[in-house]
A and B are shown apart, each in its own frame.
Chain A
Amino acid sequence: MAERPAVTARPEFVREAVREHDIGVVLKPLTAWERIWGNGWLRKGLILTALALLWQAYGSYLNNPLILPTFGATVQSFAERVVTGELPGKAWTSVKVLLQGYAIGLVLALAFTIAAITTRIGNDLLELLTAMLNPLPAIALLPLALIWLGLGNPSIIFVLVHAVMWPIALNTHSGFQAVSGTLRMVGRNYGLTGIRYVLQILIPAAFPSILSGLKIGWAFAWRTLIAAELVFGTTSGSGGLGWFIYENKNTLDIPAVFAGLFSVILIGLLVESLIFRVAEQRTVRKWGMHA
Chain B
Amino acid sequence: MAPAQPLLEVEGVTLQYRTREHLVTATYRVCFEVFRSDRFVLLGPSGCGKSTLLKAVGGYLKPVEGSIRLKGGEVTRPGRDRVMVFQEFDQLLPWKTVKQNVLFGLLASGTLSGPEAEARAMAYIEKVNLTGFADAYPHTLSGGMKQRVAIARGMAMEPDILLMDEPFAALDALTRRKMQDELLRLWEDTGFTILFVTHSIPEAVRIGNRILLLSPHPGQVRAELNSDGQDCEDQATGKRLSDRIHGMLFSEPVPEDETVAHG
A289 at the interface (CB under 8 A from B): yes
Q: Is the CB of B90 within 8 A of A191?
A: no
The digit string for B203-227, where 1 denotes a CB below 8 A from any CB of A, is 0000000000000000000000000
Known: A180-B88, A183-B90, A185-B86. A190 touches B139 (CB 8 A): no
Q: Which of A186, A189, A289 is most buried by chain B, counting CB atoms within 10 A of its CB?
A: A189
Smallest Cβ distance from A202 to chain B, in angstroms?
12
Q: Which of A180, A201, A286, A287 is most buried by chain B, counting CB atoms within 10 A of its CB?
A: A287
Q: Is the CB of A185 within 8 A of B138?
A: no
Indicate which residue in A182, A205, A283 contacts B86 across the interface (CB closer than 8 Å).
A182
Residues of B in contact with A, size category: 20 to 34
B109 at the interface (CB under 8 A from A): yes
Q: Is the CB of A191 within 8 A of B137?
A: no
The digit string for A204-239, where 1 denotes a CB below 8 A from any CB of B, is 110100000000000000000000000000000000
Complex interface: chain A residues within 8 A of B79 (CB): 189, 191
**Measured between alpha carbons, how far is A204 from B92 in the docked complex, in Å?**
12
Indicate which residue in B58, B82, B84, B90 contacts A180 across the interface (CB closer than 8 Å).
B90
Q: Is the CB of A191 within 8 A of B138?
A: no
Smallest Cβ distance from B64 to chain A, in angstroms?
20
Smallest Cβ distance from B136 to chain A, in angstroms?
11
Smallest Cβ distance from B92 to chain A, in angstroms?
8
26 contacts between A and B (CB under 8 A): A180-B88, A180-B90, A182-B90, A183-B91, A185-B58, A186-B84, A186-B86, A186-B93, A189-B58, A189-B80, A189-B83, A190-B105, A190-B108, A191-B79, A191-B109, A191-B110, A192-B108, A200-B108, A201-B93, A205-B93, A283-B95, A286-B137, A287-B139, A288-B137, A288-B140, A289-B95
With A191-B80, A201-B93 known, 8 other A-B pairs at CB within 8 A are A185-B78, A186-B86, A188-B60, A189-B82, A190-B108, A196-B108, A200-B108, A288-B94
Residues of B within 8 A of A (CB): 58, 60, 77-80, 82-84, 86, 88, 90-91, 93-95, 104-105, 108-110, 137-140, 157
